[in-house]
């Protein structure tokens, strides 16, 4: 028996025959009809018996959702300690949470949630003055499901435009107000999607959206993004099309005005990777939109502009990214000059006070340096530990910059950093009621199937015994160049204080080691991601952190695909599975909302027979067989218009039909919820209580504080 530190005893009950009987699902799943729907892909007939569940507007689908929820809610309600877990989550969740402050006009703005408020409030404060509530999203709706999803101010701070999401949908409304009085000063814009808002002087702003689908707004394909300019005081129907549409059809388009208000910067792409870059001189009437980079082979964006110079972050010739500078009059690549070169770690640039902050991910933790506009490194930011730093952005005339720091054992703390002296001070600290010293994190490197070394961070309570009987939650994502870096979670704390281990594997497909790491987990290399995750599970069992009887896996969105693929490939390896809002039908994901834009990572079944065969081989919906699957709780939201809930519906129906043992296969469909953003606090707490109750119950363990 191995230990990491001094031994501490936790109540762990072995999975006895009695426990197996107690946790078994002995009821009946709702009836799910099968149709004779099939499709032909390159001569291969593929049955799709649950295609009818894709219709989110039908009464039949609505009835099925209600029936599934009743079964799931009934199963979870009979877990005797579910309410105790919810109570503990509520106790720990109830502490003030602060956002990074930002200056607009004469005010400092910042978000605060006093503890259990469904939505955080936006406050503002004058220099050396008191602060008051500027916007309270809790008043947007009675049940807290309408959320604030971004706000943008004019340069002088006198006007603001903010976006709201209803029920978690990606479709937004835009409301414009006078910041002095709080009064609305314009008509509400509607049907705005995947958009920032960027003001030009005080006259109007740029935004992006799609034409509203003629069918279901929550599932119909959205293909052609458009950049508009809205002039205050005019109807939305008269907004000017700036870029996109029939002339330049692109799936994703963004427009932003540089802080000096001299240039409009346009990014345009057809996938989640690779973009074109354009600029327009705003000082010249009817100035042309000038291409800086065309084609979708690389990523680039203007991060700063001053004195006619453009500073561009790019990965052209630099898979880990670099910063270049060029004259706006000659902006194309042949005129670029390297300013901050590429290093061995992925780079992200932010700006404040005419300084660049180079934020690197070094083996999944943050390292930050301060540079001048001349590209000379000036300072190293001394972070509190091995964790994740964020922020480091502000206006060009600032002297201080604010940033946040968190880790798996440290709640988020806000710091103020003086760019001249290099002095850092705590601005807002957390008040979570737990002893941070009772917990520790450890980074390990394990070997995947093809010999690649994969990093993983484990967090647990000190004194944890390595005897193979620890409940362990393994989390992963592995896609879209997204990096999983350390962050604190109240929910995970509840798990760990009961002897749980929380493990995060930094899989290929993510961005932890730059573009090469990402590209090693896409299209016909996607199996690498699943092998990396399965390798993590096997390592954890081999090293006796846990065993098959105590191993749970969890992931959301692309991570939901990860869980679905791994549990269908290796159902013998896991005890409990949590695929959340997952991409689970890999033959049809590109048929819904913005799914076609994910083809850089996935490829599509229409690309070629070789690509179809590859997708068909791992697509979770299409690889359910008649066998015993782990206890599974699928989660989704009925307003998820990013990864439509039909993915989860079809996977749940397939699993329930294929399940050959008494392990429960449940689906929980949250109403008035989308892909995750903006969920009210009470909904989040209930979801997490269900999750941990389901886990402990199906591992044959008891929850005790």
In 3-state terms, the chain is what percent helix, strand and coil (to 5)?
A: 20, 35, 45
CA dihedral (455, 461, 467, 469) in degrees, to 10, reads -100
**237 CA to centre of own chain:** 33
- Which two structure tokens, joined as six digits, stand for 80? 């005797």
569/557 Cα distance (integer angstroms): 18
Angle at 264 between CA 272 and CA 221, to 5 degrees: 35
- Which two structure tokens, joined as six digits, stand for 346? 């992925």
| Radius of gyration (C-alpha) of the chain in whole angstroms | 25
Q: What is the pLDDT of residue 11?
A: 36
Beta bridge partners of 377: 371
**Which of the following is catalytic: 230, 622, 647, 675?**
675
**Which of the following is catalytic: 219, 350, 557, 619?**
557
Cβ count near 259 (within 10 Å): 15
16/214 Cα distance (integer angstroms): 55
Beta bridge partners of 220: none
Asked if 230 is an active-site residue, the reply is: no
Q: What is the pLDDT of residue 46?
A: 98
Per-block mean pLDDT, blocks of 10 residues, the chain (705 long):
35 44 81 96 98 94 95 96 97 95 96 93 89 93 90 97 92 96 95 96 97 82 93 97 94 97 97 96 96 96 97 97 98 98 97 98 96 97 94 96 97 96 94 93 97 98 95 98 96 96 98 96 98 98 98 97 98 98 97 92 98 98 98 90 90 98 96 71 94 98 86
Cβ atoms of 98 and 414 within 8 Å: the answer is yes
Residue partners of 531: CB distance under 8 A and separation at least 6: 448, 449, 450
Asked if 675 is an active-site residue, the reply is: yes
């Amino acid at each position: 028996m191995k230990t990491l530190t001094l031994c501490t005893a936790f109540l762990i009950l072995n999975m006895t025959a009695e426990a197996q009987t107690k946790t078994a699902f002995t009821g009946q799943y709702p009836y799910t009809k099968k149709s004779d729907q099939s499709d032909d892909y390159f001569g291969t007939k593929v049955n799709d018996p649950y295609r009818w569940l894709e219709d989110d507007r039908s009464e039949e689908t609505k009835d099925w959702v209600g029936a599934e929820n009743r079964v799931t809610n009934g199963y979870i309600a009979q877990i005797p300690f579910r309410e105790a877990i919810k109570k503990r989550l509520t106790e720990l969740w109830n502490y003030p949470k602060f956002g990074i402050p930002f200056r607009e006009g004469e005010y400092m703005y910042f978000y605060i949630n006093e503890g259990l408020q469904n939505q955080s409030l936006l406050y503002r404060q004058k220099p050396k003055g008191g602060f008051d509530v500027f916007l309270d999203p809790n008043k947007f709706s009675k049940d807290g499901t309408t959320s604030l999803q971004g706000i943008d101010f004019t340069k002088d701070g006198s006007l603001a435009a903010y976006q709201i999401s209803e029920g978690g949908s990606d479709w937004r409304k835009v409301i414009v107000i006078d910041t002095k009085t709080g009064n609305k000063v314009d008509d509400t814009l509607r049907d705005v999607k995947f958009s920032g808002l960027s003001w030009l002087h005080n006259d109007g702003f740029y935004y992006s959206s799609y034409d509203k689908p003629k069918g279901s707004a929550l599932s119909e394909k959205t293909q052609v993004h458009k950049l508009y300019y809205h002039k205050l005081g005019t109807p939305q129907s008269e907004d000017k099309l700036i870029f996109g549409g029939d002339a330049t059809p692109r799936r994703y388009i963004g427009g932003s005005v540089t802080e000096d208000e001299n240039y409009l910067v346009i990014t345009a792409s057809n996938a989640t990777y690779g973009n074109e870059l354009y600029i327009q001189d705003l000082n010249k009437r009817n100035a042309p939109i000038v291409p800086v980079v065309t084609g979708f082979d690389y990523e680039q964006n203007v991060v700063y502009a001053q004195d006619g110079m453009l500073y561009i972050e790019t990965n052209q010739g630099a898979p880990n990214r670099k910063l270049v500078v060029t004259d706006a009059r000659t902006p194309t690549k042949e005129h670029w000059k390297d300013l901050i070169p590429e290093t061995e770690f992925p780079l992200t640039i932010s700006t404040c006070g005419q300084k660049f902050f180079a934020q690197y991910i070094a083996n999944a933790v943050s390292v930050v340096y301060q540079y001048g506009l001349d590209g000379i490194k000036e300072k190293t930011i001394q972070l509190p530990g091995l964790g994740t730093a964020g922020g480091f952005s502000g206006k060009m005339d600032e002297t201080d910059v604010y940033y946040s720091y968190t880790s798996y054992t440290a709640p988020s703390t806000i710091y103020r950093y003086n760019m001249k002296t290099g002095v850092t001070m705590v601005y807002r600290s957390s008040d979570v009621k737990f002893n941070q010293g009772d917990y520790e994190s450890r980074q390990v490197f394990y070997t995947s199937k093809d010999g690649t070394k994969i990093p993983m961070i484990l967090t647990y309570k000190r004194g944890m015994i390595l005897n193979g009987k620890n409940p362990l939650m393994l989390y992963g994502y592995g896609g879209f160049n997204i990096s999983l870096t350390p962050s604190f979670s109240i929910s995970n704390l509840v798990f760990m204080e009961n002897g749980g281990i929380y493990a995060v594997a930094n899989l290929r497909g993510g961005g932890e080691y730059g573009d090469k790491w990402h590209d090693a987990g896409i299209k016909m290399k996607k199996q690498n991601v699943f092998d990396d995750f399965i390798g993590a599970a096997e390592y954890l069992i081999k090293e006796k952190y846990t065993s098959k009887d105590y191993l749970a896996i969890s992931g959301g969105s692309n991570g939901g695909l990860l869980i679905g693929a791994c549990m269908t490939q290796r159902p013998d390896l896991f005890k409990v599975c949590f695929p959340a809002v997952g991409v689970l039908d890999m033959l049809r994901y590109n048929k819904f909302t913005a799914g076609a834009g994910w083809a850089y990572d996935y490829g599509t079944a229409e690309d070629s027979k070789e690509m179809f065969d590859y997708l068909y081989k791992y697509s979770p919906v299409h690889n359910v067989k008649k066998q015993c699957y782990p206890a599974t709780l699928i989660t989704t939201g009925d307003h998820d218009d990013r990864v439509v809930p039909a993915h989860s519906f079809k996977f749940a129906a397939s699993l329930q039909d294929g399940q050959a043992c008494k392990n429960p296969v449940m689906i929980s469909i949250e109403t008035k919820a989308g892909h995750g953003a903006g969920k009210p606090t009470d909904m989040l707490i209930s979801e997490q209580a269900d999750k941990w109750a389901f886990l402990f119950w199906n591992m044959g363990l008891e929850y005790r504080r």
